[in-house]
Structure 1
């Protein structure tokens, strides 16, 4: 079959089962958009307000569905506007394919209009990238890009196509794409046996769950593993929902804003079992003092993560779902009643709490949990509200908490919420933002309205850059340099100007009523929640301190 390059792009997307793409057209990518127009009944295109929104939407789609997210952009500034979203996906190992188009082949390298070396720019933040200069390799390159994005440790892949390649004709032959399956053969029996021996010898094991357990769809195997080990469980931001936050063995997040229970328990355990986590500095605190009473057993698909940030005792390299399945087959039922009881006592002694009578971030998150019955997809921006969303919403299933963990991208959540809602339309999708983050990409409310994507945007509005201000309060003697946002911006009016419904809440009851209304409207809603500027996230670990030094508001008062 003879097709143009742009038609081959669309046919290859269809081969991969792509039903939704996010993007923004421009001159270099016009041929591809013309081909998409002819297939609009098969592939839905969401025109975002900015290319960064498209990259975050593709990321959110991928996290919510487990499929590859796809975004499109033109050359030059269109391509560079994807960079932040690509880097966000790279840091959190999210499978995204970004397709950009560039200037014609004879114009490459000549500083032509809207030319940029996007493959050079994105080389450090992609799993792989391609520039396709020969149309005869176009189809296979696209197929290879999707395969790379999904296999092993997932990640973003970029394909750059010069415009003239999208216009010439070549032979295209359709291929049936087989689903990507994890490599079960390469998991070492010796490593599995060592892991089982370490677990069976432990008296005080603790299980630490990261995003790898979510990405490998290993929740069932993880649940069986936890019950078989009979150990308490903590997690990272990326690991939320892999193990139910409602289970009695769950102790909350670990690290800088983790619970005291998790931080103290990990500091006292004799075996830390790390399931698909990479030992981020926000988790470990002072790395030299992290879990230094414990042997460390790490399960990870990426051998490069072994001994990278923390020296481990032993590791098993492989897909998390496969590793857990193999360990479960060999591990006998364990019992650690005294240890579990000790951790339960910590949970009773150090619960998460907040001021009960005022509208606050934790209250907002708990009320969202109550009204959605824990069955929503929550996306967030980055900052205090992100930590509250991690602490006070109980995630019982994977792929229901979408947030920028590694890169910490302000402006991520709104685009991600659009992608999540397109991928899982039957779920309520709520983006929780601070007012500083909402300003970053609030133009995507117009996208939600344009395409009638009924997301609920909750702005926890403290009129400051909350997390930065918290650090300034605690560590910079209250020198609030450039963190006050107390200006005349009215988010309710902005929402209405873009065609959404705008609501405001100043009290707990007003928020209850506003969110209840938002759930019934079936259209984009923005709720502006006015909270105190000095609200803080507790507990906290000071930078450079061990996680066992976690402190809260009561400790500061003393």
Structure 2
């Protein structure tokens, strides 16, 4: 049995249904023979982005796997793996690398040294009979603790190594999690009860723990309003009376107001990094942090109380402890205060959300999308730059993973592959990615991947014919048109086999969305190119 055959059998045992890869990879044929679907994107970075979407939308229950050839293949994948690392997404990367005799020798690319800084674990499989042990460790790391990518180099001669009479003895890994120290739970609940104006600061750890029901229950029991991070968006239903929306580098008025007012911030499943994408926590707050990663504690802010454990298990412990004490009734004044801040936002933004401007205001597109689709059965992700800035505060998500927020690194074009991965993991959902024309320029040919591989998604391009960052280089823009772009992207989509349409007037947006959704439901990917203005106003 060859090394690549051992790999494939173990991946099959672990429930892997598909692998994204770009030839030539030793795993291709062996995976196919095991019944694992092999999916070929147009570039290796998108292979990693598809794997990311699979893992993210399934909360790690399904692990996205990608593979690529030595040298240029693994080099091209770097941005995709870096995105998974920055956003703590558990993907398995299995690059072929040069034979063992040539490892770490110039000019052969040294993937291990390059990738170990953007992986939860990186290593090299040096012998074929090591493969079961190394993959067992990989899946243990992927399914336990803070999520993140694992990169295992497979030298070509290891993949081809033939082991006579080798029997694969492998037990799939379930992953491990733990509840918290009872004393820490007691201290945390006491602190929440003692606080006068607490808020919950929910991160994507809530989503990976699938702890959204527990989060809602605790919020309602103690009448504590909830904001989410960018990656945590959808951990709490944004139509809930205690929902504050997103607090990141963009922010809803409700989140901003209550974060400033809070005397205690309870971070649940959030690392509390000091990062430009995160909303800073003002000084003078008591900070309580629940995380499954000890490296998070005190990383960005001094923490007054910490609880280490899985968000779902720990929140259940806290709920049980709350039930042992006095009950908190509905705080009508608090609910009205939250509602007032939401009305304040709508009063300010409705003229843009319903604007009749030509070119179309991009906020009108996002608003019309939200009014048109069945949000309970739709997954939306919005691209780096203004699509994400506008989408994260405008699109009201009502179901867990109904919105895939990202951004700790900002790889333009991520959402196209991510949307394909989400659709593979949740084929019953309508999956929509919103991107700008700059992002489409990075990955647009992979519309053909969605068509060829029969992964029907809806792409909406907000085409303002420029990069939204032109304000940072006005002289180059004026003298040399730096940042200006052009193209008929709906025509490109049609040429690649998708249903494409160009929309130039705001009253055409909803009919176009309905036609595109119909196409997607019929099995054909669709792309709507909306000709928009450059809208620089964002909610802060």
What is residue 353 of structure 1 aligned with on the other side? 350
What is residue 249 of structure 1 aligned with on the other side? 242
What is residue 132 of structure 1 aligned with on the other side? 125
Give the secondary structure class of the aligned counterpart of 2:306: strand
Give the secondary structure class of the aligned counterpart of 1:176: coil
Identify the match of residue 22 of structure 1 among 1, 9, 20: 20
What is residue 527 of structure 1 aligned with on the other side? 528
- 1:128-277 to structure 2, matched below 5 A, reads 128-170=121-163, 171-184=166-179, 187-277=180-270
Q: Is the 8 A contact 1:200 1:334 kept in 2?
A: no
What number of residue pairs does the alignment pair up? 521
TM-score, normalisation: structure 2: 0.92
Q: Tell me the CA shift for residue 264 of structure 1.
A: 1.6
Where in structure 1 do 4 or more consecutive aligned residues deviate above 6 Å?
476-483
Give the secondary structure class of the aligned counterpart of 2:399: coil
Identify the match of residue 282 of structure 1 among 276, 279, 292: 276
Q: Is the 8 A contact 1:139 1:172 kept in 2?
A: no
Cα distance change of structure 1 residues 62 and 271 upon mapping to structure 2, 3 Å threshold: same
Give the secondary structure class of the aligned counterpart of 2:276: helix
Aligned mates of 1:117, 1:124 — CA distance in 2: 13
Q: Tell me the CA shift for residue 80 of structure 1.
A: 1.3
Give the secondary structure class of the aligned counterpart of 1:10: helix
Q: Tell me the CA shift for residue 532 of structure 1.
A: 1.0
Cα distance change of structure 1 residues 262 and 483 upon mapping to structure 2, 3 Å threshold: farther
Cα distance change of structure 1 residues 126 and 284 upon mapping to structure 2, 3 Å threshold: closer
Aligned mates of 1:488, 1:262 — CA distance in 2: 37
Q: Does 1:93 align with 2:95?
A: no
What is residue 456 of structure 2 aligned with on the other side? 454
Q: Is the 8 A contact 1:449 1:524 kept in 2?
A: yes
Residue range with higher mean Cα deviation, 430-439 or 331-340: 331-340
Aligned mates of 2:276, 2:82 — CA distance in 1: 18
1:199-224 Cα offsets, whole Å, 9 max, x none, are: 11011111111111111111111111
TM-score, normalisation: structure 1: 0.89
1:388-416 Cα offsets, whole Å, 9 max, x none, are: 22122221222222243211221100011
1:213-248 Cα offsets, whole Å, 9 max, x none, are: 111111111111111120211111111111101111
Aligned mates of 1:200, 1:499 — CA distance in 2: 58
1:164-209 Cα offsets, whole Å, 9 max, x none, are: 111122323232314224223xx21121111011011011111111
Aligned mates of 2:493, 2:255 — CA distance in 1: 40
Give the secondary structure class of the aligned counterpart of 1:87: helix
| RMSD between aligned residues | 2.0
Aligned mates of 1:480, 1:177 — CA distance in 2: 59
Aligned mates of 2:319, 2:478 — CA distance in 1: 52
- 1:159-558 to structure 2, matched below 5 A, reads 159-170=152-163, 171-184=166-179, 187-280=180-273, 281-282=275-276, 287=280, 290-331=281-322, 332=325, 333-335=327-329, 336-351=331-346, 352-355=349-352, 356=354, 357-358=356-357, 359-374=360-375, 375-466=377-468, 468-469=469-470, 472=472, 485-521=483-519, 522=522, 523-533=524-534, 535-540=535-540
Residue range with higher mean Cα deviation, 497-506 or 172-181: 172-181
1:127-186 Cα offsets, whole Å, 9 max, x none, are: 0011011111111101211110120101100110111111122323232314224223xx
Give the secondary structure class of the aligned counterpart of 1:499: coil
What is residue 116 of structure 1 aligned with on the other side? 109
Cα distance change of structure 1 residues 403 and 80 upon mapping to structure 2, 3 Å threshold: farther
What is residue 69 of structure 1 aligned with on the other side? 64
Aligned mates of 1:176, 1:292 — CA distance in 2: 49
Give the secondary structure class of the aligned counterpart of 1:310: coil
Aligned mates of 2:486, 2:255 — CA distance in 1: 41
Q: Is the 8 A contact 1:203 1:339 kept in 2?
A: no
Q: Tell me the CA shift for residue 108 of structure 1.
A: 2.1
1:364-411 Cα offsets, whole Å, 9 max, x none, are: 112222221212111222011112221222212222222432112211
Aligned mates of 2:69, 2:477 — CA distance in 1: 43
1:93-128 Cα offsets, whole Å, 9 max, x none, are: 11100001111112223336xx31111100110000
Structure 2 gap ranges (5+): none
Structure 1 gap ranges (5+): 541-558
Aligned mates of 1:539, 1:481 — CA distance in 2: 31
What is residue 553 of structure 1 aligned with on the other side? none
Q: Is the 8 A contact 1:4 1:169 kept in 2?
A: yes
1:66-91 Cα offsets, whole Å, 9 max, x none, are: 22110010110101111111111111
Q: Tell me the CA shift for residue 283 of structure 1.
A: 5.5
Q: Is the 8 A contact 1:465 1:483 kept in 2?
A: no
Q: Is the 8 A contact 1:69 1:95 kept in 2?
A: yes
Q: Is the 8 A contact 2:32 2:38 kept in 1?
A: no
Q: Is the 8 A contact 1:278 1:305 kept in 2?
A: yes
Give the secondary structure class of the aligned counterpart of 1:324: helix
What is residue 7 of structure 2 aligned with on the other side? 9
